[in-house]
């Protein structure tokens, strides 16, 4: 009996989180002797949420672990790849291709999709926020808005997409980093006043933790900001989490806080902003003087990327449902202009935009259920994504 309503690792790996019709499909195919029928399936998406032109592929490490030990081959884009959903010709780009006896992977379709649909959505929104922040710090604050069982997945995907740090203890452990955070309003209220809270935090919390004071609990933000500067000697930043009912113009509040701290010689103290932020809010706040952001719900509750998994080949014969393109495909990419190509042959295509030879974008991830390379760290995957942002000049 579960204490909390969350599936265990064993239950996910056993297909217990799948849709019931896959269980019934397995029953029928078993009765008719067709479980060993060889099939090729592809993971594609027709379009991205909210008019996004690109996505950050994330969640495939869990998918690899899901299929490990089963007699299947898995090809796909490396995690952290910035991908386009379609080629210039309008063909859907397969982010993954799975080959093997259909009975070896039929019942795992639902969890496999869940891993990449959720992970890629969160990673993409994180990337969009990081780009909108124009190089400023972005922290992932969203785990409190989602089921706690998926906190590691949220923080890992947020970090891979571009967030500089994450707030949850288990999320930070997952990515091999230290958790980041400041102080809650609860500490200030329980200590009785702002100065007592600032002083106590500075006295008790280990010195390796940067001192960031929350400055909107009882008084005006600029008053509490100056008080924090005067109370904590090595203050790194103040954080404004002003409630919507008091905001007025957040841009002007930032300007006032910056002005008053500068007037008193605290120009080295940074200003962080949190509270209901989305990607469209960050640019104007940067230009007003914000140095960093804590972004929560808009990242953790990002729109999922609606990948589908479809059979495209059965017993070496191309086949597909209506609306899909049959036959196994190879995915190529031109990194010079971010053009994507899908082909059914082994020839290397030439980029239609710049005329350069394209590179094979897919990698062999599993061979007969065995990994072809060790799992990569979250830092390595994040670096791959960030390098692509810089190279491609994404918007």
Work out the average pLDDT over 27-45: 97
At residue 73, the pLDDT reads 98
Looking at domain 9-120+303-392, does it have CATH number 3.20.140.10? yes
CA of 92: how far to CAs of 87, 122, 218, 263, 342, in Å? 6, 21, 54, 57, 8
Q: What is the mean pLDDT of the chain?
A: 95
CA distance 278 to 300: 11
Concatenated DSSP letters for 24-71?
HHHHHHHHTT-TT-EEEEEEE-S--GGG-S-EE---HHHHHHHHTTSS
Percent of residues, the chain, with pLDDT higher than 90: 90
Residue that has been written with the tokens 């929104």 in this structure: 125
SS3 assignment, position 171:
helix
CA of 185: how far to CAs of 146, 155, 166, 242, in Å? 21, 23, 19, 11
Percent of residues, the chain, with pLDDT higher than 70: 100
At residue 345, the pLDDT reads 82
How would residue 245 be classed by pLDDT, with cut points 50, 70 and 90? confident
Q: Are 130 and 138 in contact (CB under 8 A)?
A: yes
CB atoms within 10 A of CB 155: 32
CA distance 258 to 210: 19
For the domain spanning 123-300, the CATH number is: 3.20.20.70
Shortest CA distance to 111 belongs to which of 45, 19, 25?
A: 19
CA distance 242 to 248: 10
Shortest CA distance to 120 belongs to which of 167, 168, 77, 165?
A: 77
Shortest CA distance to 378 belongs to which of 56, 42, 39, 129?
A: 56
At residue 218, the pLDDT reads 95
CA distance 324 to 109: 17
Structure tokens at 307: 């990948």
CA quadruple 34, 39, 43, 47: dihedral sign: negative
Domain ranges of the chain: 9-120+303-392, 123-300
At residue 386, the pLDDT reads 94
- Residues 176-192 pLDDT 10s: 999 998 899 999 999 99
How would residue 26 be classed by pLDDT, with cut points 50, 70 and 90? very high
Concatenated DSSP letters for 319-365?
---TTS--S--EEEEETTTTEEEEESSSSPPB-TTT-PBPEE--EEE
How would residue 1 be classed by pLDDT, with cut points 50, 70 and 90? confident
Radius of gyration of the chain (CA): 24
Q: What are phi and psi of 257, to 5 degrees?
A: -60, -45
pLDDT greater than 90 at residue 392: no
At residue 248, the pLDDT reads 85
CA distance 369 to 359: 26
Q: What are phi and psi of 171, to 5 degrees?
A: -65, -45
Please, how many CA atoms are within 13 Å of residue 86, restricted to the half-sphere of its CB?
A: 11
Shortest CA distance to 168 belongs to which of 143, 145, 194?
A: 143
CA of 344: how far to CAs of 92, 317, 323, 340, 359, in Å? 13, 13, 18, 14, 15
How would residue 395 be classed by pLDDT, with cut points 50, 70 and 90? low
Q: Are 308 and 113 in contact (CB under 8 A)?
A: yes
- Residues 86-144 pLDDT 10s: 998 999 999 999 999 999 999 999 999 999 999 999 999 999 999 999 999 999 999 99
- Residues 346-373 pLDDT 10s: 788 888 888 889 999 999 999 999 999 9
Which residue intervals of the chain are DSSP H helices? 9-13, 20-31, 60-67, 109-132, 151-161, 169-175, 185-191, 194-204, 221-231, 244-247, 250-263, 279-288, 297-300, 378-392
Burial bucket for residue 74 (CB in 10 Å: 0-12, 13-18, 19+): buried
- β-sheet bridge partners, residue 300: none
Q: What is the DSSP letter of 143?
A: G
Contacts of 286 (CB under 8 A, 6+ apart): 133, 134, 136
Longest alpha-carbon distance in the chain: 81
At residue 148, the pLDDT reads 96
């Amino acid at each position: 009996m579960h204490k909390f309503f969350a599936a265990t690792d064993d239950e996910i790996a056993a297909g217990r989180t799948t849709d019931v019709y896959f269980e019934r499909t397995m029953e029928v195919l078993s009765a008719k002797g067709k479980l060993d029928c060889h099939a090729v399936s592809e993971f594609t998406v027709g379009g991205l949420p909210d008019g996004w032109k690109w996505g950050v592929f994330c969640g495939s490490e869990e998918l690899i672990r899901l299929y490990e030990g089963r007699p299947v081959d898995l090809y796909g884009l490396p995690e952290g790849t910035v991908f386009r959903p379609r080629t210039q010709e309008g063909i859907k780009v397969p982010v993954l291709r799975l080959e093997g006896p259909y009975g070896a992977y039929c019942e795992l379709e639902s969890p496999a999709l869940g891993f990449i649909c959720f992970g890629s959505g969160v990673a993409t929104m994180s990337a969009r926020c990081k780009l909108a922040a124009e190089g400023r710090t972005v922290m992932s604050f969203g785990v409190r808005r989602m089921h706690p069982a998926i906190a590691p997945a949220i923080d890992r995907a947020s970090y891979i997409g571009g967030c500089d740090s994450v707030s949850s203890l288990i999320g930070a452990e997952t990515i091999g980093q230290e958790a980041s955070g400041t102080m809650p309003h609860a500490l200030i209220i329980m200590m009785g006043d702002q100065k007592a809270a600032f002083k106590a935090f500075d006295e008790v919390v280990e010195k390796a933790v940067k001192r960031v004071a929350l400055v909107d609990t009882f008084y005006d933000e600029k008053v509490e900001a100056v008080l924090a500067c005067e109370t904590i000697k090595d203050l790194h930043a103040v954080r404004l989490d002003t409630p919507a009912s008091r905001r007025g113009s957040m841009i002007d509040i930032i300007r006032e806080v910056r002005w008053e701290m500068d007037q008193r010689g605290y120009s080295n103290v940074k200003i962080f902003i949190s509270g209901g932020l989305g990607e469209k809010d960050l640019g104007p706040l940067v230009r007003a003087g914000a140095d960093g952001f804590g972004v929560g719900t808009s990242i953790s509750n990002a729109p999922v990327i609606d990948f589908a998994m479809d059979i495209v080949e059965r017993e070496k014969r191309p086949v597909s449902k209506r609306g899909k393109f049959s036959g196994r495909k190879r995915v190529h990419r031109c990194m010079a202009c971010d053009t994507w190509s899908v082909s059914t042959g082994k020839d290397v295509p030439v980029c239609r935009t710049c005329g350069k030879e394209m590179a094979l974008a897919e990698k062999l991830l599993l061979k007969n259920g065995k990994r072809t390379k060790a799992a990569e760290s979250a830092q390595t995957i994040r670096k791959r994504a960030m390098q692509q942002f810089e190279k491609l000049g994404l918007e």
